Amino acid sequence: MEKILDIVEAIANEKGLSPDAVKEAIKTAFVQTAKRLIDPDFAFEATIDEENKKIVVARTITVVEDDDERLQDEHLSKEVIALSEARREYDDQIEVGDQLQQEYNLEDYGRTAAANLNRELEYHIQRLIEDELFSKYKAKIGQLVSGRVTRVDGNNATYIEVDEVKAVLPFKSRIKGERFNVGDVLRAVVRRVHMDKEHGIYIELSRTSPKFLEALLTLEVPEIQEGSVVIERSARIPGQRAKVALTSLHPQVDPVGATVGVKGVRINAVSEELNGENIDCIEYSDILELFVARAMSPAIITSVEIVKNEEGEVEKAIVRLPSDQKSKAIGKSGINVRLASMLCQVEIELEEGDGFEGASESSEEAKEGVDALEALFN
Protein backbone atom coordinates (compact mmCIF):
# COMPACT_ATOMS: atom_id res chain seq x y z
CA MET A 1 0.00 0.00 0.00
CA GLU A 2 2.99 2.31 0.28
CA LYS A 3 2.81 3.43 -3.36
CA ILE A 4 -0.95 3.66 -3.58
CA LEU A 5 -0.86 7.45 -3.91
CA ASP A 6 1.16 7.15 -7.12
CA ILE A 7 -1.51 4.92 -8.64
CA VAL A 8 -4.46 7.04 -7.59
CA GLU A 9 -2.78 10.29 -8.61
CA ALA A 10 -2.24 8.77 -12.05
CA ILE A 11 -5.96 7.93 -12.25
CA ALA A 12 -6.82 11.44 -11.08
CA ASN A 13 -4.67 12.96 -13.82
CA GLU A 14 -6.25 10.72 -16.42
CA LYS A 15 -9.77 11.72 -15.31
CA GLY A 16 -8.90 15.39 -14.91
CA LEU A 17 -9.79 15.49 -11.22
CA SER A 18 -8.57 17.90 -8.57
CA PRO A 19 -5.58 16.40 -6.67
CA ASP A 20 -6.90 17.72 -3.35
CA ALA A 21 -10.33 16.22 -3.96
CA VAL A 22 -8.72 12.89 -4.87
CA LYS A 23 -6.68 12.90 -1.68
CA GLU A 24 -9.83 13.46 0.38
CA ALA A 25 -11.54 10.59 -1.45
CA ILE A 26 -8.55 8.32 -0.70
CA LYS A 27 -8.59 9.23 2.99
CA THR A 28 -12.32 8.53 3.18
CA ALA A 29 -11.78 5.13 1.53
CA PHE A 30 -9.13 4.20 4.11
CA VAL A 31 -11.30 5.33 7.03
CA GLN A 32 -14.31 3.34 5.78
CA THR A 33 -12.13 0.26 5.25
CA ALA A 34 -10.76 0.54 8.79
CA LYS A 35 -14.27 0.86 10.20
CA ARG A 36 -15.39 -2.18 8.24
CA LEU A 37 -12.43 -4.33 9.32
CA ILE A 38 -11.82 -3.17 12.88
CA ASP A 39 -14.80 -1.44 14.51
CA PRO A 40 -17.48 0.81 12.98
CA ASP A 41 -17.69 2.85 16.21
CA PHE A 42 -14.02 3.81 16.30
CA ALA A 43 -13.22 7.44 15.42
CA PHE A 44 -10.64 6.79 12.70
CA GLU A 45 -8.68 9.48 10.93
CA ALA A 46 -6.51 9.10 7.83
CA THR A 47 -3.54 11.34 7.09
CA ILE A 48 -1.17 11.41 4.14
CA ASP A 49 2.56 10.96 4.59
CA GLU A 50 3.67 12.89 1.49
CA GLU A 51 7.33 11.94 1.87
CA ASN A 52 6.75 8.19 1.93
CA LYS A 53 3.51 8.34 -0.12
CA LYS A 54 1.72 6.38 2.55
CA ILE A 55 -1.66 6.66 4.20
CA VAL A 56 -1.54 6.54 7.98
CA VAL A 57 -4.76 5.36 9.65
CA ALA A 58 -5.16 6.13 13.31
CA ARG A 59 -7.89 5.91 15.90
CA THR A 60 -8.50 9.13 17.83
CA ILE A 61 -9.19 8.70 21.55
CA THR A 62 -10.17 11.64 23.77
CA VAL A 63 -9.04 11.72 27.42
CA VAL A 64 -11.91 12.32 29.87
CA GLU A 65 -12.44 12.37 33.64
CA ASP A 66 -12.69 9.00 35.34
CA ASP A 67 -16.39 9.60 36.13
CA ASP A 68 -17.35 10.81 32.64
CA GLU A 69 -20.75 9.36 31.57
CA ARG A 70 -19.43 8.47 28.10
CA LEU A 71 -17.27 5.73 29.64
CA GLN A 72 -20.48 3.82 30.49
CA ASP A 73 -21.98 4.14 26.99
CA GLU A 74 -21.51 1.08 24.74
CA HIS A 75 -20.71 3.17 21.65
CA LEU A 76 -19.30 6.42 23.01
CA SER A 77 -16.88 4.57 25.29
CA LYS A 78 -14.88 3.57 22.19
CA GLU A 79 -14.04 7.21 21.52
CA VAL A 80 -12.82 8.10 25.01
CA ILE A 81 -10.41 6.88 27.68
CA ALA A 82 -10.36 7.58 31.42
CA LEU A 83 -7.64 9.93 32.63
CA SER A 84 -6.20 7.39 35.09
CA GLU A 85 -6.02 4.68 32.42
CA ALA A 86 -4.42 7.03 29.87
CA ARG A 87 -1.73 8.08 32.36
CA ARG A 88 -1.06 4.47 33.24
CA GLU A 89 -0.84 3.19 29.65
CA TYR A 90 0.58 6.18 27.76
CA ASP A 91 2.07 9.10 29.70
CA ASP A 92 1.65 10.42 33.24
CA GLN A 93 1.62 14.00 31.91
CA ILE A 94 -1.61 13.51 29.97
CA GLU A 95 -4.47 15.90 30.80
CA VAL A 96 -8.24 15.81 30.29
CA GLY A 97 -9.10 16.86 26.73
CA ASP A 98 -5.90 15.49 25.19
CA GLN A 99 -6.35 13.33 22.12
CA LEU A 100 -4.38 10.14 21.67
CA GLN A 101 -3.60 8.49 18.33
CA GLN A 102 -3.53 4.71 17.99
CA GLU A 103 -2.20 3.72 14.56
CA TYR A 104 -3.41 0.72 12.57
CA ASN A 105 -1.67 -0.91 9.63
CA LEU A 106 -4.30 -2.27 7.23
CA GLU A 107 -1.70 -4.56 5.64
CA ASP A 108 -1.90 -6.63 8.83
CA TYR A 109 -5.41 -7.63 7.81
CA GLY A 110 -4.22 -9.37 4.63
CA ARG A 111 -6.26 -9.97 1.50
CA THR A 112 -9.52 -9.00 3.16
CA ALA A 113 -8.18 -5.51 3.74
CA ALA A 114 -6.88 -5.25 0.17
CA ALA A 115 -10.21 -6.33 -1.33
CA ASN A 116 -12.23 -3.98 0.88
CA LEU A 117 -9.89 -1.08 0.22
CA ASN A 118 -10.05 -1.66 -3.52
CA ARG A 119 -13.86 -1.55 -3.46
CA GLU A 120 -13.89 1.59 -1.32
CA LEU A 121 -11.36 3.33 -3.57
CA GLU A 122 -13.35 2.50 -6.70
CA TYR A 123 -16.55 3.69 -5.08
CA HIS A 124 -15.21 7.01 -3.79
CA ILE A 125 -13.23 7.82 -6.93
CA GLN A 126 -16.34 7.09 -9.02
CA ARG A 127 -18.45 9.34 -6.77
CA LEU A 128 -15.83 12.05 -7.16
CA ILE A 129 -15.90 11.72 -10.96
CA GLU A 130 -19.69 11.93 -10.92
CA ASP A 131 -19.65 14.98 -8.62
CA GLU A 132 -17.19 16.72 -10.94
CA LEU A 133 -19.32 15.87 -13.97
CA PHE A 134 -22.47 16.95 -12.16
CA SER A 135 -20.95 20.36 -11.37
CA LYS A 136 -19.60 20.68 -14.91
CA TYR A 137 -22.90 19.96 -16.64
CA LYS A 138 -24.96 21.83 -14.04
CA ALA A 139 -23.07 24.92 -15.16
CA LYS A 140 -23.97 24.05 -18.78
CA ILE A 141 -27.74 24.18 -18.34
CA GLY A 142 -29.10 26.19 -21.26
CA GLN A 143 -25.89 25.71 -23.25
CA LEU A 144 -25.43 23.88 -26.54
CA VAL A 145 -23.88 20.41 -26.63
CA SER A 146 -23.52 17.86 -29.40
CA GLY A 147 -23.12 14.10 -29.45
CA ARG A 148 -23.65 10.88 -31.35
CA VAL A 149 -26.86 8.86 -31.05
CA THR A 150 -26.23 5.48 -29.42
CA ARG A 151 -29.80 4.13 -29.32
CA VAL A 152 -33.49 4.99 -29.54
CA ASP A 153 -35.76 3.13 -27.11
CA GLY A 154 -39.38 1.99 -27.40
CA ASN A 155 -40.65 5.32 -26.07
CA ASN A 156 -38.73 7.15 -28.81
CA ALA A 157 -36.31 8.60 -26.27
CA THR A 158 -32.98 9.25 -28.00
CA TYR A 159 -29.77 8.43 -26.12
CA ILE A 160 -26.67 10.43 -26.99
CA GLU A 161 -23.04 10.12 -26.01
CA VAL A 162 -21.87 13.63 -25.08
CA ASP A 163 -18.14 13.63 -24.34
CA GLU A 164 -17.70 11.45 -21.26
CA VAL A 165 -21.36 11.07 -20.26
CA LYS A 166 -24.61 9.60 -21.53
CA ALA A 167 -27.48 12.00 -22.16
CA VAL A 168 -31.09 11.51 -23.20
CA LEU A 169 -33.36 13.53 -25.47
CA PRO A 170 -36.92 12.61 -24.45
CA PHE A 171 -39.60 12.35 -27.13
CA LYS A 172 -41.38 15.42 -25.68
CA SER A 173 -38.21 17.50 -26.12
CA ARG A 174 -37.83 16.58 -29.79
CA ILE A 175 -39.14 18.83 -32.56
CA LYS A 176 -42.24 17.38 -34.21
CA GLY A 177 -41.34 15.33 -37.26
CA GLU A 178 -37.72 14.72 -36.25
CA ARG A 179 -36.34 11.18 -36.43
CA PHE A 180 -32.90 10.07 -35.35
CA ASN A 181 -30.96 6.91 -36.05
CA VAL A 182 -27.99 5.32 -34.32
CA GLY A 183 -24.83 7.09 -35.47
CA ASP A 184 -26.50 10.45 -36.16
CA VAL A 185 -24.85 13.52 -34.66
CA LEU A 186 -27.30 15.95 -33.13
CA ARG A 187 -27.20 19.19 -31.19
CA ALA A 188 -29.36 20.19 -28.23
CA VAL A 189 -29.21 22.26 -25.05
CA VAL A 190 -28.80 20.86 -21.55
CA ARG A 191 -32.21 21.11 -19.87
CA ARG A 192 -31.72 19.27 -16.58
CA VAL A 193 -28.96 17.47 -14.71
CA HIS A 194 -29.82 14.85 -12.09
CA MET A 195 -27.73 12.71 -9.79
CA ASP A 196 -29.17 9.23 -9.22
CA LYS A 197 -27.57 7.03 -6.57
CA GLU A 198 -28.32 3.89 -8.54
CA HIS A 199 -27.56 5.02 -12.11
CA GLY A 200 -25.26 7.97 -11.50
CA ILE A 201 -25.43 11.22 -13.45
CA TYR A 202 -28.42 11.79 -15.74
CA ILE A 203 -28.44 14.59 -18.34
CA GLU A 204 -31.68 15.57 -20.06
CA LEU A 205 -31.42 17.46 -23.34
CA SER A 206 -33.92 19.58 -25.25
CA ARG A 207 -34.39 20.77 -28.82
CA THR A 208 -37.73 22.46 -28.08
CA SER A 209 -36.52 24.97 -25.48
CA PRO A 210 -36.20 28.65 -26.51
CA LYS A 211 -32.64 28.34 -25.16
CA PHE A 212 -31.85 26.00 -28.06
CA LEU A 213 -32.89 28.68 -30.54
CA GLU A 214 -30.81 31.27 -28.67
CA ALA A 215 -27.77 28.97 -28.58
CA LEU A 216 -27.99 28.34 -32.34
CA LEU A 217 -28.30 32.07 -33.06
CA THR A 218 -25.27 32.74 -30.87
CA LEU A 219 -23.32 30.12 -32.79
CA GLU A 220 -24.40 31.48 -36.19
CA VAL A 221 -24.27 35.26 -35.62
CA PRO A 222 -20.83 36.75 -34.83
CA GLU A 223 -22.40 39.95 -33.50
CA ILE A 224 -24.26 37.95 -30.85
CA GLN A 225 -21.11 36.00 -29.98
CA GLU A 226 -19.07 39.17 -29.45
CA GLY A 227 -21.86 40.89 -27.52
CA SER A 228 -22.71 43.81 -29.80
CA VAL A 229 -26.16 42.25 -30.34
CA VAL A 230 -28.06 40.84 -27.36
CA ILE A 231 -30.96 38.37 -27.37
CA GLU A 232 -33.37 39.90 -24.88
CA ARG A 233 -36.19 37.37 -25.16
CA SER A 234 -37.37 34.51 -27.32
CA ALA A 235 -40.50 32.42 -27.69
CA ARG A 236 -41.12 29.26 -29.71
CA ILE A 237 -43.76 26.86 -30.83
CA PRO A 238 -41.20 24.20 -31.79
CA GLY A 239 -41.03 23.22 -35.44
CA GLN A 240 -43.57 25.85 -36.46
CA ARG A 241 -42.62 29.40 -35.59
CA ALA A 242 -40.53 31.51 -33.23
CA LYS A 243 -40.03 35.16 -32.33
CA VAL A 244 -36.78 36.68 -31.08
CA ALA A 245 -36.36 40.13 -29.54
CA LEU A 246 -32.94 41.68 -30.11
CA THR A 247 -31.05 44.75 -28.91
CA SER A 248 -27.94 46.36 -30.38
CA LEU A 249 -25.29 47.75 -28.03
CA HIS A 250 -23.50 49.37 -30.95
CA PRO A 251 -25.09 52.39 -32.69
CA GLN A 252 -23.91 51.23 -36.11
CA VAL A 253 -25.18 47.66 -35.83
CA ASP A 254 -28.74 46.81 -36.84
CA PRO A 255 -29.69 43.89 -34.54
CA VAL A 256 -32.32 42.46 -36.86
CA GLY A 257 -30.24 42.83 -40.04
CA ALA A 258 -27.16 41.31 -38.39
CA THR A 259 -29.16 38.32 -37.12
CA VAL A 260 -30.98 37.66 -40.39
CA GLY A 261 -27.80 38.03 -42.46
CA VAL A 262 -27.35 38.83 -46.14
CA LYS A 263 -30.29 37.33 -48.06
CA GLY A 264 -31.33 35.58 -44.85
CA VAL A 265 -28.35 33.22 -44.86
CA ARG A 266 -27.85 33.25 -41.08
CA ILE A 267 -31.46 32.89 -39.99
CA ASN A 268 -32.06 30.24 -42.68
CA ALA A 269 -29.19 28.14 -41.30
CA VAL A 270 -30.80 28.23 -37.86
CA SER A 271 -34.24 27.50 -39.30
CA GLU A 272 -32.87 24.44 -41.10
CA GLU A 273 -31.51 23.05 -37.83
CA LEU A 274 -34.97 23.59 -36.31
CA ASN A 275 -36.71 21.46 -38.93
CA GLY A 276 -37.90 24.46 -40.97
CA GLU A 277 -39.15 26.59 -38.08
CA ASN A 278 -39.99 30.15 -39.20
CA ILE A 279 -38.17 32.76 -37.12
CA ASP A 280 -39.34 36.37 -36.75
CA CYS A 281 -36.66 38.79 -35.57
CA ILE A 282 -37.78 42.07 -34.00
CA GLU A 283 -36.06 44.91 -32.19
CA TYR A 284 -36.66 44.87 -28.43
CA SER A 285 -38.05 47.87 -26.56
CA ASP A 286 -38.57 48.34 -22.83
CA ILE A 287 -41.62 50.45 -23.71
CA LEU A 288 -44.31 47.80 -23.61
CA GLU A 289 -46.66 49.46 -26.11
CA LEU A 290 -43.91 49.66 -28.71
CA PHE A 291 -42.67 46.16 -27.95
CA VAL A 292 -46.16 44.68 -28.38
CA ALA A 293 -46.63 46.58 -31.66
CA ARG A 294 -43.40 45.13 -33.03
CA ALA A 295 -44.15 41.64 -31.71
CA MET A 296 -47.43 41.53 -33.65
CA SER A 297 -45.51 41.55 -36.97
CA PRO A 298 -46.29 40.82 -39.77
CA ALA A 299 -49.65 42.36 -38.83
CA ILE A 300 -49.76 46.16 -39.03
CA ILE A 301 -51.63 47.46 -36.00
CA THR A 302 -53.19 50.85 -35.28
CA SER A 303 -52.61 51.29 -31.54
CA VAL A 304 -51.76 49.51 -28.31
CA GLU A 305 -53.37 50.20 -24.93
CA ILE A 306 -51.87 48.74 -21.74
CA VAL A 307 -54.47 47.90 -19.09
CA LYS A 308 -53.33 47.86 -15.45
CA ASN A 309 -55.04 46.80 -12.23
CA GLU A 310 -55.43 48.83 -9.06
CA GLU A 311 -51.95 47.81 -7.89
CA GLY A 312 -50.44 49.14 -11.10
CA GLU A 313 -49.63 45.68 -12.46
CA VAL A 314 -50.09 45.03 -16.17
CA GLU A 315 -53.15 42.88 -16.83
CA LYS A 316 -53.30 42.89 -20.62
CA ALA A 317 -52.49 44.75 -23.81
CA ILE A 318 -55.37 45.75 -26.08
CA VAL A 319 -54.19 45.79 -29.69
CA ARG A 320 -56.39 47.67 -32.14
CA LEU A 321 -56.04 46.91 -35.82
CA PRO A 322 -57.93 47.11 -39.12
CA SER A 323 -60.13 44.20 -40.09
CA ASP A 324 -57.89 43.23 -42.99
CA GLN A 325 -54.97 42.72 -40.58
CA LYS A 326 -56.76 40.45 -38.14
CA SER A 327 -55.89 37.18 -39.87
CA LYS A 328 -52.20 38.14 -39.95
CA ALA A 329 -52.31 39.18 -36.29
CA ILE A 330 -53.86 35.89 -35.23
CA GLY A 331 -51.83 33.69 -37.54
CA LYS A 332 -52.49 30.06 -38.42
CA SER A 333 -54.23 28.38 -35.46
CA GLY A 334 -53.57 31.53 -33.41
CA ILE A 335 -49.80 31.06 -33.53
CA ASN A 336 -48.81 34.68 -34.14
CA VAL A 337 -50.75 36.25 -31.29
CA ARG A 338 -49.73 33.40 -28.96
CA LEU A 339 -46.05 33.92 -29.70
CA ALA A 340 -46.38 37.70 -29.34
CA SER A 341 -48.01 37.19 -25.95
CA MET A 342 -45.28 34.75 -24.88
CA LEU A 343 -42.54 37.09 -26.06
CA CYS A 344 -43.96 40.22 -24.41
CA GLN A 345 -45.10 38.25 -21.32
CA VAL A 346 -48.51 39.88 -21.38
CA GLU A 347 -52.00 38.78 -22.41
CA ILE A 348 -52.90 40.32 -25.77
CA GLU A 349 -56.49 41.15 -26.70
CA LEU A 350 -57.32 42.07 -30.29
CA GLU A 351 -59.92 44.68 -31.26
CA GLU A 352 -60.94 45.31 -34.85
CA GLY A 353 -60.81 48.91 -36.06
CA ASP A 354 -64.44 48.93 -37.18
CA GLY A 355 -65.61 49.22 -33.64
CA PHE A 356 -63.89 52.41 -32.42
CA GLU A 357 -63.97 56.05 -33.35
CA GLY A 358 -61.52 57.21 -35.97
CA ALA A 359 -60.57 53.71 -36.95
CA SER A 360 -58.82 53.16 -40.27
CA GLU A 361 -59.89 50.39 -42.60
CA SER A 362 -56.75 50.43 -44.69
CA SER A 363 -53.46 48.74 -43.87
CA GLU A 364 -51.62 51.78 -45.28
CA GLU A 365 -53.21 54.09 -42.76
CA ALA A 366 -52.62 51.51 -40.04
CA LYS A 367 -48.93 51.46 -40.97
CA GLU A 368 -48.89 55.22 -40.53
CA GLY A 369 -50.31 54.65 -37.05
CA VAL A 370 -47.42 52.30 -36.20
CA ASP A 371 -44.90 54.80 -37.56
CA ALA A 372 -46.46 57.47 -35.37
CA LEU A 373 -46.18 55.15 -32.39
CA GLU A 374 -42.50 54.53 -33.15
CA ALA A 375 -41.91 58.29 -33.49
CA LEU A 376 -43.70 58.98 -30.22
CA PHE A 377 -41.36 56.78 -28.18
CA ASN A 378 -38.12 57.37 -30.10
Using DSSP, state whether 149 is helix, strand or coil. Answer: strand
Asked whether residue 107 falls in the same domain as residue 120, the answer is: yes
pLDDT at 359: 37
CATH number at residue 121: 3.30.1480.10
Asked whether residue 275 falls in the same domain as residue 298, the answer is: no
Residue 233 contacts residue 284 (beta carbons within 8 Å):
yes
Asked whether residue 34 falls in the same domain as residue 100, the answer is: yes
Using DSSP, state whether 312 is helix, strand or coil. Answer: coil
CATH number at residue 345: 3.30.300.20
Q: Which of 348, 230, 354, 366 is nearest to 289 (CA)?
A: 348
The whole domain housing 302 covers 286-378
- Percent helix, percent strand, percent coil in the chain, to nearest 5: 45, 30, 30
Q: Does residue 159 sit within a domain? A: yes
Asked whether residue 241 falls in the same domain as residue 330, the answer is: no
Distance CA 29, CA 183 (A): 39
In the chain, the number of structural domains is 4
Q: Does residue 255 sit within a domain? A: yes
Asked whether residue 230 falls in the same domain as residue 343, the answer is: no
Q: Which of 179, 178, 181, 201 is nearest to 190 (CA)?
A: 201
pLDDT tens digits for the chain (378 residues)?
Answer: 556 667 767 777 877 787 788 888 888 898 899 888 888 878 888 888 777 777 888 888 888 888 877 777 767 777 777 878 778 778 778 888 787 777 888 888 888 888 888 888 888 888 888 888 888 899 999 999 999 999 998 888 999 999 878 899 999 999 988 989 999 999 999 999 988 776 678 899 999 999 999 999 999 999 999 999 999 999 999 999 999 999 999 999 999 999 999 999 999 999 999 999 999 999 999 999 999 999 999 999 999 999 988 888 989 999 999 999 999 999 999 999 999 999 999 999 999 865 444 333 344 544 555 555 555 444
Distance CA 248, CA 64 (A): 71
Residue 137 contacts residue 193 (beta carbons within 8 Å):
yes
Predicted structure pTM score: 0.73
